[in-house]
Structure 1
Amino acid sequence: MYITVTPQKMGGNYSQSSAGFVSYLEKENEGLENEGMEHFFNQYEDKTSAEGVVRENDGNTAKLEKTETRFYSITASPSKYELNRLQNHSEDLKKYTRELMKDYVTSFNREINGRPVSLDDIKYYAKIEHQRTFKGNDMQVRENQPFATKILELKNEIRKIERGELEGNIKVREQQIARLEKEAPHQQNGQRIVQGMQKEGPQSHIHIIVSRKDASNRFSLSLGSKYKASAVELNGTMVKRGFDRDSFFKNAEKTFDKLFGYQRNFVEQYKSRKDFIKDPRKYFSALLKLPTNEKAIALKILRESGMPMLPGIPVNQAQVALKVFNRLRQGLDIAIKSSSIGI
């Protein structure tokens, strides 16, 4: 499970309205009849219109400055292994979302009117999507980029030859382009993977828009606080503050596993990913000590996820060379930051 929590921005500025983001999340509904659409939902409603989501979000921003985020985006992306565990992607992910938001409220170290934050205190709307496209920072796109650059150069040369600005053989260049298209390391259905190409296979995931202000529009519930659990004196009163992201991410996994009876592998765990960044030697030492079957699955998951596993890793030994760690860490660190849990 890959989860990101981000404030919504337009360029360098915080979005003053949720309209743009809501419109973006409606893209998969274009051209569909009502029965085939995915609707916005929350803890209490199954169908909320896009207009209603914008109205509720934009009307819940009392006393927020332009320099403060008005709402946050939470994205939860199950792996293909997790999706394979589901019977119905739409209904099961809606069920999971509602349980996930219980984990969300319990991660606040806040009180409202002397009690912990509850589901009734937050204002959120969620949407299930079933498609994904390759982004510029995806490993497949980045590693195909040298081929894309050379192909573009050759196409520009062909246009110049056609305009009489350059002498050369168009057919030879077309043959070079065809060869480069096939030699690019990452292909999908016989085509070179490029930015914007739709990813094949199950891609269902969850988008959640959650208001910075509580449902009463009186209290600020910030996810951006650097304080996990602390208190500060405000007007002579000690006030709790903070949001524990570690707790949220860990509980999000536990909730999914309990809900769907999922057996989570070592490399799929949030704690393991954090351990990798802090101490790759410890991470791989633990990985290599796994039971044979679990270790085989772990290495398969890493390879399929695009992690740069080297063919010479001595999987039957307890020690792995430090230079291998460093090379692996560089690639995995990029993958984690670009697509996952926002550590």
Structure 2
Amino acid sequence: MYITISPQKTGGSFPKSSSGFVSYLEKENEGKSPEAQEFFFNQEEDQVTPETVIQEIDANTAKLKNSEPKFYSITLNPSAYELKQLQSKNQLKEYTREVMKAYAASFNREIDGRPVNVNDLKYFAKLETQRTYKGTDWKIKENQPYATRILKLKNEMRRIQQGESTGDLKSLQQQIDKLEWEAPHQLNGQRIIQGMSKEGNQAHIHIIISRKDASNRYSLSPGSKYKASEVMMNGKMVQRGFDRDHFFKQAEKVFDRQFGYRRNFVESYKARKMFLQQPKSYLHQLTKLPTSEKRIAFQMLRATGLPNVPSIPTSKVQLALKTFKSLKRGVEIALKSGSIGI
């Protein structure tokens, strides 16, 4: 489960309205009949209109400065393995509601003398079922040398057609066709390029959540650099902070408990964090996994596009430096594409 938490915008001032972001989340509804469209939902409601989302979020910004985000964006991105465990899209919505309970519990704040709970949150979520390939995807990166050569040949053809150069157009087109066919990553007989829709189940959740609590009195910022602390505000001590570690771990536990999912070592938040902070310990534990779990772990890593995973000497703790560096680069790319936000 890859989870991102992002502010409304990074740096500078922030737009006064959430309309732009809400409109972006409506992109999959374009051209669909009303009964086929996906509504926003929250903890209690299943059919919330985009107009209501904008009105509710925009009206919940009391005392926020122009330099402060009015809302945050959270994405819940189940892996292909996790999605196979789900029987319907409604299960992903119910999971979202449970995750938001964990999100609320991760704040080191009190409201009216009690801990923050999910009823204090003003949020709206949207299920999306499509994704497109981006420049950071490993399939795009591995296809890039072919794309570069194809573009060069097309530019050469254009110069010939415009009379700026001479050459054999038929021969150039044959070279282009050959490169298109030789590109390592194809989808439905076509070279995978940026903007192309990804295959398979791509269900994921976007959440827009107000910076202020539902009463519009308290600021609940998941961007706080504090996990748990106290500060003097208006003459009294106030708790503050958000524990991201707790939230990410609980999000995984909720999924595993709710759907009976057996999580592999390499797809756990604990392992991903270990890789970033203690990469050699990560690789040590990877090689020490039971045979069946290790086989699944390598399958998962290969799915991220790591070229040297099959050559890892699984029976040895000390890995060749070259292999280690290659694996480290590959996993870093996979983590960045997941934007886990550690």
| TM-score normalised to structure 1 length | 0.96
Instruction: Identify if the C-alpha distance between structure 1 residues 247 and 309 changes in structure 2 by more than 3 Å, giving closer, same or farther.
Output: farther
Contact kept? 2:143, 2:183, Cα under 8 Å: yes
Instruction: Identify if the C-alpha distance between structure 1 residues 171 and 307 changes in structure 2 by more than 3 Å, giving closer, same or farther.
Output: same
How far apart in 1 are the matches of 2:74 and 2:176?
41
Q: Give how far 1:156 is off.
A: 1.4
Q: Give how far 1:235 is off.
A: 3.0
| Structure 1 partner of 2:94 | 95
| Structure 2 partner of 1:199 | 198
| Structure 2 partner of 1:331 | 330
How far apart in 2 are the matches of 1:148 and 1:206?
32
Contact kept? 2:308, 2:323, Cα under 8 Å: no
Q: Give how far 1:75 is off.
A: 0.3
How far apart in 2 are the matches of 1:54 and 1:120?
19
| Structure 2 partner of 1:35 | 35
How far apart in 1 are the matches of 2:307 and 2:56?
44
Query: Helix, strand or coil for the counterpart of 1:297?
Result: helix
Alignment of 1:43-82 (within 5 A): 43-82=43-82
Q: Give how far 1:55 is off.
A: 0.7
Q: Which amino acid aligns with 2:225?
A: K
Query: Helix, strand or coil for the counterpart of 1:75?
Result: strand
- The RMSD of aligned alpha carbons is 1.5
| Structure 2 partner of 1:341 | 340
How far apart in 1 are the matches of 2:264 and 2:212?
37
The gaps in structure 2 that reach 5 residues or longer are none
How far apart in 2 are the matches of 1:226 and 1:18?
24
The gaps in structure 1 that reach 5 residues or longer are none
Q: Which amino acid aligns with 2:176?
A: I
Query: Helix, strand or coil for the counterpart of 1:232?
Result: strand
Q: Which deviates more from structure 2 when the two are superposed, residues 143-152 or residues 9-18?
A: 9-18
Instruction: Identify if the C-alpha distance between structure 1 residues 85 and 177 changes in structure 2 by more than 3 Å, giving closer, same or farther.
Output: same
Q: Which deviates more from structure 2 when the two are superposed, residues 38-47 or residues 229-238?
A: 229-238
Deviations 1:65-121 (A, max 9, x none): 111111111000101111111111x20011000000000000000111221111121
| Structure 2 partner of 1:149 | 148
Contact kept? 2:298, 2:310, Cα under 8 Å: no
Query: Helix, strand or coil for the counterpart of 2:175?
Result: helix
Q: Give how far 1:13 is off.
A: 4.7
| Structure 1 partner of 2:20 | 20
How far apart in 2 are the matches of 1:104 and 1:336?
21
| TM-score normalised to structure 2 length | 0.96
Query: Helix, strand or coil for the counterpart of 2:214?
Result: coil
Deviations 1:237-286 (A, max 9, x none): 11111101110000000000000000000011000001011122111111
Deviations 1:313-342 (A, max 9, x none): 112223322332222112211221232311
| Structure 2 partner of 1:277 | 276
Q: Percent identity?
A: 62
Query: Helix, strand or coil for the counterpart of 1:5?
Result: strand
How far apart in 2 are the matches of 1:97 and 1:194?
31
Alignment of 1:1-343 (within 5 A): 1-9=1-9, 13-88=13-88, 90-343=89-342
Q: Give how far 1:38 is off.
A: 1.3
How far apart in 2 are the matches of 1:240 and 1:254?
26
Deviations 1:270-316 (A, max 9, x none): 00001011122111111111111110000001101223434321122
Q: Give how far 1:12 is off.
A: 5.7
How far apart in 1 are the matches of 2:16 and 2:333?
30
How far apart in 2 are the matches of 1:139 and 1:16?
36
Aligned length: 342
How far apart in 2 are the matches of 1:16 and 1:151?
44
Contact kept? 1:73, 1:208, Cα under 8 Å: yes
